[in-house]
Amino acid sequence: MLTILIILPLVVAALLALVMGKRSSYIKYVAIAASLLSLALIANAYLSAGQLQQFSWFNLAGYTFALTTSTMPLNMLLLLIVGIMTPLIAIYSAGYMDLPSEQQRYYFELCIFAAAMMLFAISGDLLTMFIGWELLGITSYLLIGFWYRRDGTADAARKAITTILIGDILMISAMVIIWATYHTFSFALLLSATTHSGAMAIALLLVMFAAFTKSAQFPFHEWLPDAMKGPTPVSAFLHSSTMVKAGVFLLAVLLPLFIAYHLLYLMLAFGLITAVLGVTNALAEFNIKRVLAYSTIEDLGLMFIALGTGSLVAAMMLFVAQTFYKALLFMSAGSMIKANDSEEDMCKMYGSTKYMKLFIPTAIGVASLAGLFPLSGFFGKAAVLTSSNLIVYIALLVVSFGGNIYIFRWLFLPTHKKADRKAAQVKKNYRSTPLSMMIPIYLLAAAVLAAGFFIYYGIPTYLNGYQSAPVSIGAEDIIASTIVVIIGFIVAYMLFYVRDKKSTEEHGILRKILYNNQAVNSAYAALATAVSYASKAIDSVDYAIYGLIKEGAHNVNALGNLIKKIVSGSPTVYIAAFVIGLVVVVAILIL
């Protein structure tokens, strides 16, 4: 029960948000207090780490189904990340979500979202995991569609939940197969199973593609940029430590099974394709949040590449490093958007250089994402590089070079050198940025600066008991990454800071090639059209069969009505029928 108590403060805060009514101005303080209490309980849970706890739920057909929680190192790592990020997001939201009419619904959904991720983090079996998995899906749908009256928001929420629903169907299908094969949902028992079966291989494939939908891997990745229609604190939470990492975490837990069934090459292939698509689209995108969304797609692709090479440690190093720099960048983007009166087009807004107190932490986050030594992002990305073979290593360096260009472009493009009346107003808006928004930004910048060596030395030691390829970062990796960062910085500086940003870049041929999300969305539409035609064809066949049966029933009914006419009560008719019947019987006997 101590493990389950971790999520209780957030659930209570969510329920209080529903009943506080006119006292909605206090809801944010309740949410912050609940998130801090959950973090304290998580810290206390580390004292009893390494345990599995079961709670009997119900009995069916002689089997007992239980909820299982785990405080194993991998579970506690994710739980701690979510526990740290939740109060930071709640504090940032206190300044960002400033309309009283939005308070109740927002904090209710946010607290349930955080509680769902914590439940997912401590799950010790597929059944408990699936409950958290589903709660994450519905709460992310609600948060993405929070401003449902705005253009495109409802469509973005529906697109997200539709893609995730595909994964839900795949996941529950895998669970049915696993139960039918092993009669257990326990991760520990599944990992210790010595017998291999074709059914389990199919189940693992279903689990893998379910994880791809949740973690936005090709071809299911296009829901994530559209999810930027939600509030920026939600984007920071979603992309740094919650739902999009659920798929990565699930495959990390089951990694020994994927190794045993020789399925890692699929993770590697899909991860590499996804990383390339994330980089190319980010290079051509102009929306400040969507660039970061494609950056998350790239990061998630790199995590799957690390898992695909069998290096759980490398995947988790990037997993942790990405949490801090991505939350920092989204919060910085939110501050820029708020200062620019909700403008999100990078060519039309004034960037963080108008306010150095924001620019410095933003630049730290950008440098970390680029992989500059010794920031935390370097150790995360270098771990993935060194876990791969030479061909993949070179390919990832090219991907990293593209990533450096788009993130420095993201930094430079909103920077206008000529001051005007709007710039003066933006500077005033920056100066009035609430302290509650700046505190999480500074804390995250400090984490990005200080966490690098802890990630490199601490995580491999902490996850020492897990099956994983070793990680070793040498001087040559530092040199290679530094050169790539410097070249990427110079290219981006020359292209997007020195040159006139009001160019025709938006209509260039290169952008049409790079911005391939339109082709992916067209493929979605074509698939939906094909399914629609197929369903109409099936419906036509179904209607024809129904018509045939209906016509047959009508004819039988007509025959019955005709036969009923001989039941007239006339003795003459009955005698005639008897004679005819007798003749027929005698004729049959003779023949």
**pLDDT value at position 313?**
93
Distance CA 142, CA 113 (A): 10
**pLDDT value at position 179?**
92
- With 70 as the cut, is the pLDDT of residue 23 above it? no
**pLDDT value at position 438?**
93
Report pLDDT digits (tens) over 202-223: 999 999 999 999 999 999 988 9
pLDDT band at 243 (very low <50, low <70, confident <90, very high): confident
Give the DSSP per-residue string, 78-124. HHHHHHHHHHHHHHHHHHH---HHHHHHHHHHHHHHHHHHHHHHTB-
**pLDDT value at position 257?**
94
Name the token pair of 556.
């039988």
Q: Where are the alpha helices (DSSP H) in 285-355?
A: 288-308, 312-339
What mean pLDDT comes out for the span 529-539?
A: 89
Measure Cα distances from 244 to 167, 217, 230, 241, 302 in Å: 13, 10, 15, 8, 13
**pLDDT value at position 416?**
62
pLDDT band at 503 (very low <50, low <70, confident <90, very high): very low
Give the DSSP per-residue string, 506-527. GG-HHHHHH-THHHHHHHHHHH
Distance CA 177, CA 52 (A): 24
What mean pLDDT comes out for the span 232-258?
A: 91
Long-range contacts of 243-246, Cβ-Cβ distance < 8 Å, separation of 24 or more:
243/113, 243/117, 243/136, 243/137, 243/140, 243/214, 244/214, 244/215, 244/216, 244/296, 244/300, 245/78, 245/215, 245/300, 245/303, 245/319, 246/117, 246/120, 246/132, 246/133, 246/136, 246/211, 246/214, 246/215
Report pLDDT digits (tens) over 136-190: 999 999 999 999 988 889 999 999 999 999 999 999 999 999 999 988 899 999 9
| Residue ranges of domains in the chain | 528-590
- Residue 191 class from Cβ within 10 Å (0-12 exposed, 13-18 middle, 19+ buried)? middle
